[in-house]
Structure 1
């Protein structure tokens, strides 16, 4: 009887200890993109970190606007620990005070310069904004592949071009690139508008923001040339459609996926470690393979087949042009009004 009581007490103590241990396991809430990104994180990226750090990670899907809105709604009582955002919204998150300062770690010294966005946010991957063209259509028309942004002004492509609007980063970066090509910049945008209105717009069939609609325009033969992202082009090419991405000779624009630890963070140390983990060569490789995000860690080595599909390597990364989001975020509303009045008429 005594042995039974002792055994019962021991079992109860063991169960209490187990419950205490389970309840003590920290939880990390990560706000990031849905779709294929969520699948890659939950299947290939998160499990190894959970095991190594004895932590439970809850993935909270949403686009950049959704996640930024969550940070704003939860201000001073943040529930998210780490967030992934497009570079424009990430600069806003830093400006609004939602990101904590990055702790120093060796991995940061291995990153390309364009990855160092601020002391509170870092780029995680990069895709390029450049030109996409239908290789079969160009070949049948006897046209050489486009090599320059000025191909968008070529009257041979009248009503055969698609460009996303300024509400989309691809369209915004088209405006910035034409400003730069004509002596302007983010702080002097007028030359960009002038070039788009007079030289580019007459050739544009559609100012199309939807990836699905852009795909249809290509597949139906309505357009043969477009401004698009390297990742989007890869997705369409993988279906067998004859499309190719071009890094224009003047340089392609960089579109960054960024990450930061959130302020007032109950799991501050784990959040910093998770950010550092995402920048490791092994995770950078997975992101290139599954998301077509070019690695920002210079130590990442990709197989040739993967390297050919993303911005990769010192020279190609160095040739990408970055966006001054501090200026853009301040001016974008005014630019959008001007775009709607004068470009998309």
Structure 2
């Protein structure tokens, strides 16, 4: 009997050791570092995607907040041995990340929800490989305080009104829409990609309180009353309105540049399987619905049923993704550094 017990004990110990050995590699995979935005965008992604993902899978997520340009700089520094596994990066900067090889190719077989995405939300390299997926479209127009700004602004040129001196804000080149807005204003003022003087002159007319790098910084400025009008995201305006603040959004008659927030897997991550699970989860219907209801971004996932309130606040109005004023990112990226240099010399230091 003693020999039987000894054999059983040895057998059980062997099984336990085997189980521990088997679980150790898996446990090492069960944690991800994810680059996200700050402010309400980061809160939305955390509440709609990251926290539910951990609850559903047990895989923990450590957020690494920052703007898209800051995230790209980190990925460049970490190339070959990344500390970040998954990254949210805005359109425009996303293309740069794809071209520089700091984000990985996404395998549709490993990310099955990709098959349920709108064509406009799937981003491919020149050789046809997918490198980024949209988790929501947004637009940047005129946000204003309804108590202090009457009538509502309808044009980008309204920012030149003397009553807005020292009480307005627009994005800097560090923000995803900073360069696109600069190019948009330049074109409206008669310039082109070889002549930025019209935009420089116009920006100097706008006696802004501040230029914001992150969406959260702009939102804080509206909340504190530091600014009462400016070029900001429609989603941010509606979020503030939902909190009871007298803030609204007005689409400029000259057009509101649009972009989207995209999720990527970082090239070289040692946690590819867990990262693929997160990306697949992020583009699911429930997560897309949650972001659309919370941030009022337009879903890139098909078949998302929205409330009437969310529908009325979509960046494309009563239309579809096809109606957005999409940005020519390759053309803008070719001039991005030149525009940033001009901005730093002519506008930021004025």
Q: Take 1:95 and 1:150, find their aligned partners in 2: how far apart are those partners? A: 35
Range with bigger deviation, 152-161 or 8-17? 152-161
Pairwise CA distance, 1:218: 4.1
Q: TM-score of the superposition, structure 2-length normalised?
A: 0.78
Q: Take 2:164 and 2:253, find their aligned partners in 1: how far apart are those partners? A: 19
1:129 aligns with 2:105: no
1:288 aligns with 2:292: yes
Distance 1:241 1:148, change over 3 A: same
Contact 2:155 2:254 in 1 (8 A): yes
Gaps of at least 5 residues in structure 2 are 125-129
Pairwise CA distance, 1:321: 2.5
Q: Take 1:296 and 1:156, find their aligned partners in 2: how far apart are those partners? A: 39
Q: Take 2:317 and 2:54, find their aligned partners in 1: how far apart are those partners? A: 26
Distance 1:18 1:147, change over 3 A: same
Out of 179, 185, 200, the position equivalent to 1:178 is 185
Distance 1:266 1:225, change over 3 A: closer
Q: TM-score of the superposition, structure 1-length normalised?
A: 0.79
Out of 44, 47, 52, the position equivalent to 2:52 is 44
1:193-272 matches, cutoff 5 A: 193-198=197-202, 201-209=204-212, 214-215=218-219, 218=222, 223-268=227-272, 271-272=275-276
Out of 9, 29, 32, the position equivalent to 2:32 is 29
1:152 aligns with 2:164: no
1:1-150 matches, cutoff 5 A: 1-25=2-26, 26-27=29-30, 29-33=32-36, 36=43, 37-48=45-56, 50=57, 56-63=59-66, 64-78=68-82, 80-104=84-108, 107-108=113-114, 110-118=116-124, 119-139=130-150, 143=151, 145-150=152-157
Range with bigger deviation, 325-334 or 228-237? 325-334
Q: Take 2:345 and 2:70, find their aligned partners in 1: how far apart are those partners? A: 28
Contact 1:197 1:342 in 2 (8 A): no
Secondary structure (helix, strand or coil) at the match of 2:139 reads: strand
Pairwise CA distance, 1:273: 4.6
Secondary structure (helix, strand or coil) at the match of 1:163 reads: strand
Pairwise CA distance, 1:194: 0.7
Q: Take 1:218 and 1:291, find their aligned partners in 2: how far apart are those partners? A: 17
1:298 aligns with 2:302: yes
Gaps of at least 5 residues in structure 1 are none
Q: Take 1:38 and 1:158, find their aligned partners in 2: how far apart are those partners? A: 36
Q: Take 1:287 and 1:80, find their aligned partners in 2: how far apart are those partners? A: 23
Distance 1:324 1:30, change over 3 A: farther
Distance 1:296 1:175, change over 3 A: same
Distance 1:319 1:207, change over 3 A: farther
Q: How many residues align?
A: 332
Contact 2:239 2:294 in 1 (8 A): no
Q: Take 2:174 and 2:102, find their aligned partners in 1: how far apart are those partners? A: 23
Deviations 1:44-78 (A, max 9, x none): 23332x26xxxx35434232345434433332344
Contact 1:158 1:202 in 2 (8 A): no
Contact 1:99 1:261 in 2 (8 A): yes
Out of 156, 174, 182, the position equivalent to 1:167 is 174
The root-mean-square deviation of aligned C-alpha atoms, in Å, is: 3.3
Contact 2:49 2:281 in 1 (8 A): no
